[in-house]
């Protein structure tokens, strides 16, 4: 959206034949404001990254981290090496939908009201990251799901993960495996 507007504006300048167009390519170093027409790629900072020790009974793992950026960006995908897990996905915890889909719960539960804390998780396509606002991926919220772990995540180990952002590109981090949040 933004780039389209910029393109339109540039086109307007060109059709008017203004000589000031040349200023766009030359000096963009002086300004302290963030309204530059052609901003550099956002500076992404990842902190507090960790993955939970995975019980032997599951082949799924979860990783958490906090993302800060100095310009709006979008987390598009996450990836880990095939030696760690078959796939990494961005997940979000959401309330279980209040519908009849829970009819298959165990026999004998007499209650009619649903446990309001019932949550499920779903894959999300992307997460917008806003400048100056920390985006926390944490238990009970957004998280990174590792699908089909090759082997359990053991406390004390670590693995590499690559976050791909729309503007900033790829950011590689090392994720330590911990029993609980750092």
Residue with smaller CB distance to Cu ion, 121 or 171: 121
- Nearest 5°: the CA angle 131, 35, 42 is 40
Residue with smaller CB distance to Cu ion, 72 or 136: 136
3-class state of residue 65 by DSSP: strand
DSSP type of residue 179: S
- The least CB distance from residue 110 to Cu ion, in Å, is 31
Residue with smaller CB distance to Cu ion, 18 or 87: 87
Kindly report each contact of residues 55-59 with a partner whose C-beta sits within 8 Å and lies 24 or more positions away, as own/partner.
Answer: 55/152, 56/152, 58/149, 59/147, 59/148, 59/149
3-class state of residue 54 by DSSP: coil
Residue with smaller CB distance to Cu ion, 96 or 145: 145
| Shortest-Cβ-distance residue relative to Cu ion | 91
> Which residues of the chain form contacts with Cu ion (CB under 5 A)?
91, 121, 145
Handedness of CA 125, 85, 142, 117 (dihedral sign): positive
- The least CB distance from residue 143 to Cu ion, in Å, is 6
- The least CB distance from residue 64 to Cu ion, in Å, is 11
Residue with smaller CB distance to Cu ion, 121 or 166: 121
- The least CB distance from residue 85 to Cu ion, in Å, is 12
- The least CB distance from residue 121 to Cu ion, in Å, is 4
Torsion region of 132: left, alpha or beta (phi above 0 gives left; psi -120 to 50 gives alpha): left
**Tokens matching residue 51:** 């993955």
């Amino acid at each position: 959206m933004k780039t389209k507007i910029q393109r339109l504006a540039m086109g307007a300048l060109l059709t008017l034949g203004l000589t000031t167009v040349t200023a766009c390519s030359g000096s963009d170093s002086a300004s302290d404001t963030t309204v530059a027409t052609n901003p550099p790629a956002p500076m992404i900072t990842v902190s507090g990254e960790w993955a939970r020790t995975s019980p032997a009974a599951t082949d799924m793992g979860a990783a958490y981290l906090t993302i800060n950026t100095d310009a709006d960006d979008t987390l598009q995908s996450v990836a880990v090496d095939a030696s760690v897990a078959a796939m990494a996905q961005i997940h979000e915890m959401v309330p279980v939908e209040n519908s009849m889909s829970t009819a298959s719960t165990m026999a004998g539960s007499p209650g009619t009201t649903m446990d309001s804390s019932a949550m499920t998780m779903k894959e999300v396509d992307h997460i917008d990251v806003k400048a100056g606002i920390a985006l926390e991926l944490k238990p009970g919220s957004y998280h990174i799901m590792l699908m089909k772990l090759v082997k359990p995540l053991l406390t004390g180990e670590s693995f590499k993960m690559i976050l791909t952002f729309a503007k900033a590109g790829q950011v590689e981090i090392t994720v330590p495996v911990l029993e609980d949040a750092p």
